[in-house]
Chain A
């Protein structure tokens, strides 16, 4: 007798909980800080496959940096203190720009809340001339590299001080001098471009490396896979970063990840060594990023790094996360607040105190407000000095072709 066949069915991945239920992160396996090994950078990829499933953590619950990654981390006290300052600056900057958006000084804003460590710390793995191909949530790269905050704000406002002349969405910064490639809203496109940039560097006999950035959700884009194929095929000097902040707007990370254990494990099929890192641990990010950048600089090839973090705020100012996830979820995130964790570390090291922190917060907010004043003296989206509409026609081509010149004249410029 033929067995009874059931109709075919699909699996629809869903997060553990939805609004109204208790947050549940029991599925996140957390190894103790310092428990992961640190393989030599030139280890064969097949001997490092375990690294894609662990979680590199340096800071323990007492704020001590422990384990082999901490022991080999060459980072002096001043650098650790600037790390905290960069994260505090980014958070204050976000708070002011979020408010500015609510005050209708700009159309849109995207904040980093909870993810500050990743971009601020990664900067320490790069040298002048290296190039990031970021997403919209890596402004810490600019802050940490000393890019003027007032210029960032001018971009957010799209005013006459905006280096990209009001042509891009707010937060889509671009700065060649600060190693920050122009951001695209199409998601993922920059990943393969970073690989091409790094190939260009190597083909030119240069020593510059590239860093690609993508979110958990966008790893589903074909650009991600093309980037990994080319990066592994030509052993490209690039660091391939995935920021897994758990949420792609309303879609939980499990949908893009499918049945794979981790996003880092995506690298294994391409023969690319992969690390999985506590993205809320500033020191872990520095250590892992430097390990990967050393591999790139020694022409050992690409490294894939997954940073496990949590997007505390909405995707953007147009998003309300309470519609799709429990409101208390961020408070239950087991990896904590990256800023508080580094602060605790500095206090434990005798470098910092609660008083100094409060004082620094005030100082930083003063700096941010001063920058904001400077930017707003030029203008905001709806007031003050804006780029001339005639500029709309510039830079489409190096030289304006006749048909565009005619259209500009028709528009009255």
Chain B
């Protein structure tokens, strides 16, 4: 069956602003907007800015209505300069405000990379705490929307390799809101990666099936008001005894689908925060199951999965019955036409799980 290409959702028609005021958020977009709304309401130093985030409300609508509600000095548009957005945020944070900025696509962050790596991540260190950089950089991440190589990348490993940063990737609306509020409260710079394929519904990798909405998912409705999901804590999404699957973002749903469809009794762990990593939860699970599959959408070589595999090997060596397997995007740029051949869908995850289980 041919899949219907999904366009980049540049213009959202629905600005009913779920996730603000009375109605609980029922998409990840609404949950993120709700978190920003709560932060803007509770903390007068929180300042939201980025390309198209002000009047228009962001190309993915994550800031829709915030300028109108909180004023142009709290939520505003910027010129198209990722370097400028992040550089300005660093200065503003050094002054004492809390900038929460949006990079329109994670793929666009490279002009800001020097400011993130050499400046934001090290300001506390190089001044022995005199100047700090409590900023949040939000970035839509990952593929699944026919965005090709400039709208699909998952650059998390480029951030987890940078000491001084925290790196977060939620997999559902409830976590997205609670993690974003924790990120905004955090005294250090946080890279907040939003899997854009999950914005409007959970996605298990079956691109040829109808899209399911968040409202029918147990993690789909983010409660009203302020609540926190702490950084550095993984969540076990499925208890199991046969093997452990480590995943984050979109791949949590893909992994769950893969193990359900193959009836493998896997424990699926949603890392939620990549740095600092909840090693304790990972190690406890792998020591129990003795087998581990690491899944991410980003390219394989030097990906975050390599770090996970190394840690599991070092911490669980005497408990392992099989080599740790990695399932990842191929080491190619993210293609346009062949997106679903690139994407590590449930079949590839299931195959890796079977291979790991075959080793006696």
Contact = CB atoms under 8 A, between A and B. Distances in A.
A403 B96 contact: no
Interface stretch (B5-13, B86-94, B290-298): B86-94
A226 interface: yes
Interface string B202-232: 0000000000000000000000000000001
B111 interface: yes
B118 A182 contact: no
Contacts of B126: 164, 167-168, 172, 174, 182
Interface in A266-310: none
B88 A193 contact: yes
B152 interface: no
A192 interface: yes
B92 to A, nearest CB: 4
Interface residues of A, number: 47
Given A164-B126, A174-B130, A181-B131, A196 B95 contact: yes
Given A189-B118, A196-B92, A230 B81 contact: yes
A191 B91 CA distance: 9
Contacts of A109: none
Contacts, number: 142
A19 interface: no
B99 to A, nearest CB: 8
A403 B275 CA distance: 9
Interface string B96-125: 110100000000000100110011000111
A167 B127 CA distance: 8
A193 B87 contact: yes
A227 B114 CA distance: 15
Contact of A196 (B90, B114, B125, B164): B90
A189 B84 CA distance: 10
A184 B128 contact: no
A189 B120 CA distance: 11
Interface in A376-413: 394-399, 401-404
B163 interface: yes
Given A204-B45, A222-B111, A230 B119 contact: no
Contacts of A131: 94-95
A195 interface: yes
B79 A200 contact: no
Contacts of A200: 47, 91-97
A225 to B, nearest CB: 8
Nearest to A238: B91
A398 B89 CA distance: 19
Interface centre among A176, A204, A396, A397 (most CB of B within 10 A): A397
B79 A230 contact: yes
Given A204-B96, A396-B164, A402 B276 contact: yes
A402 B47 contact: no
A204 B79 CA distance: 21
A224 to B, nearest CB: 10
B276 A401 contact: yes
Contacts of A203: 47, 73, 92, 97
Interface centre among A131, A192, A195 (most CB of B within 10 A): A192
Contacts of B333: none
Contact of B130 (A176, A198, A404): A176
A193 B94 contact: yes
Contact of A230 (B78, B114, B275): B78
A197 B91 contact: yes
A398 B99 CA distance: 18
Contact of A189 (B87, B95, B111, B128): B87
A396 B124 contact: yes
A400 B277 CA distance: 13
A164 B89 CA distance: 23
Contacts of A201: 95
A189 B114 contact: yes
A213 interface: no
Given A203-B47, A223-B87, A186 B118 contact: yes
A193 to B, nearest CB: 4
Contacts of A175: 130
Nearest to A234: B76
Interface in A126-150: 131, 133
B325 interface: no
Contacts of A168: 126
A172 B128 CA distance: 13
A131 B90 CA distance: 14
Contacts of B90: 193, 196
A90 B106 CA distance: 46
B83 A222 contact: yes
A196 B131 CA distance: 14
B128 A163 contact: yes
Contacts of B119: 184, 186, 189, 193
Interface string A144-184: 00000000000000000001110110001011100001101
Interface of B: 45, 47, 73, 78-79, 81, 83-84, 87-97, 99, 111, 114-115, 118-119, 123-132, 163-164, 166, 187-188, 232, 275-277, 279
Given A186-B119, A196-B91, A204-B96, 5 more contacts: A193-B87, A196-B95, A200-B91, A226-B81, A401-B275
Q: Which 5 A-B pairs have the closest CB atoms?
A: A196-B91, A200-B95, A192-B87, A196-B88, A226-B84
20 contacts: A164-B126, A167-B126, A172-B126, A174-B126, A176-B130, A182-B131, A193-B94, A194-B91, A197-B91, A198-B91, A200-B96, A203-B73, A204-B45, A226-B81, A230-B78, A395-B124, A396-B164, A398-B124, A398-B129, A403-B277
Interface of A: 131, 133, 163-165, 167-168, 172, 174-176, 181-182, 184, 186, 189, 191-201, 203-204, 210, 222-223, 226-227, 229-230, 233, 394-399, 401-404
